[in-house]
Structures are given as C-alpha cells and as structure tokens.
Amino acid sequence: MSTDTFKCLYNNGFRFFIGRVWKSYGDYDYVGIQNIKNARAAGIKYVDGYIFPCLKSTCAPAANQVQATIEKVRALGANIGMIWMDIERFAWPSNKANNRQFIRNMVNKAKSMGVSVGIYTNYYNWQEIVGLDWTEMSGYPLWWAYYDGIEDYRNFKPFGGWSKPAIHQYKGDWKGPCGVNMDLNWY
C-alpha cells in the first residue's frame, strides 16, 4: 500500500498497523516490510510486524528465521514497535513438545536482539499446537484472533495462562475505506 493509502486510512481513524514480515514458506515479506515503512511515513504511530514461521523440515531453525527477519527489517529501515509470532494451525507438526521449543526459540531470539514480542493465536490453535496447559508465553501480550464481530473481550476464554488479550482481531477480510481489505482489530 502506498503512503497516500495509509494517509487515507489515518484520516479514516486507523491508528495502528501490523504488517507481515516473514512468510510461512520461509522468505521475507518485502511488501509487508515496505507497508511498515509507508505506514510510518503516513504518520501512523503504532506499527508492528508479524512472523508467520516456516515449519517444513527444509526451513531454517526457528531462531534463524527470527534473526534473519529482524536483520532484514532493520537493514531496510523499517521501524517496528513489536514483533508478533503468528501461531495458528498451518502445517504445525503434532509433537507439542517440539512445537513449544520452536516457539520458545523464536521468542528468545527476538528478545536477545532487543525486540519486544507478542503472540498471535487463539484458544483452538494454542490447544492444537502446544496444549492449553502450556503457560510459558503468557507473560507476553496476546493478539487474540476470534471473529465474533465485537469490539471488546467479552467472549475471551482464558487459555495458556492468559486471562486477557492485548488486542482482539474480531473480523477478517473486511472491505475497508481507501480500497483496502483488512482484518479488524480492537484494543
């Protein structure tokens, strides 16, 4: 999206943007990184990125994916406030212990590079991927994906040690202003 498109979104009340910076097949999302730069240039103050990890056996280890992503984001001059780890059911292996370690490695690498971390997931994804009883990540902000169309947390069901999300993604693929399709989030 162009800087002008982000200015249009800003003029329509949008005040934060989270762009994808790593794709699930194991490569940078250059469009997402440029969108982060354009959002900043348009005056949007709260701008984050998210990593959709590559889980195939041919992909780099978790920490390497995060390191490569953060280094690329920095090298291209994109400024993010936080990196969100996208944990949703897409090609995750069935071994919950290995999945926990993969997530742990992602988070630890981002922290070691001085980047704030959040977790994007929901009850069902967390249950399937790592188990509802795994609470190790509950100290990080939760971006909760639950498409109920409601701008609040009333339907949140605690899991993974989280008692409340930081952000609620409440509607997907919405035809927004300025010709932009988007997922809607509330915080």
CATH (domain of 114): 3.20.20.80
pTM as predicted: 0.96
Taking 90 as the threshold, does the pLDDT of residue 80 lie above it? Answer: yes
Separation of alpha carbons 174 and 110, rounded Å: 31
Q: Are 126 and 140 in contact (CB under 8 A)?
A: no
Q: DSSP readout, 20-58?
A: EEEETTTEE-HHHHHHHHHHHHTT--EEEEEE----STT
**178 in the Ramachandran plot: left (φ > 0), alpha (ψ -120 to 50) or beta?**
left
- Mean of all residue pLDDT scores within the chain: 98
Q: Count structural domains, the chain.
A: 1
**Which domain covers residue 33, as residue numbers?**
3-186
pLDDT digits (tens, 9 = 90+) for 99-141: 999 999 999 999 999 999 999 999 999 999 999 999 999 999 9
Chain CA centroid to CA 31, Å: 15
Taking 90 as the threshold, does the pLDDT of residue 185 lie above it? Answer: yes
- The DSSP letter of residue 96 is H
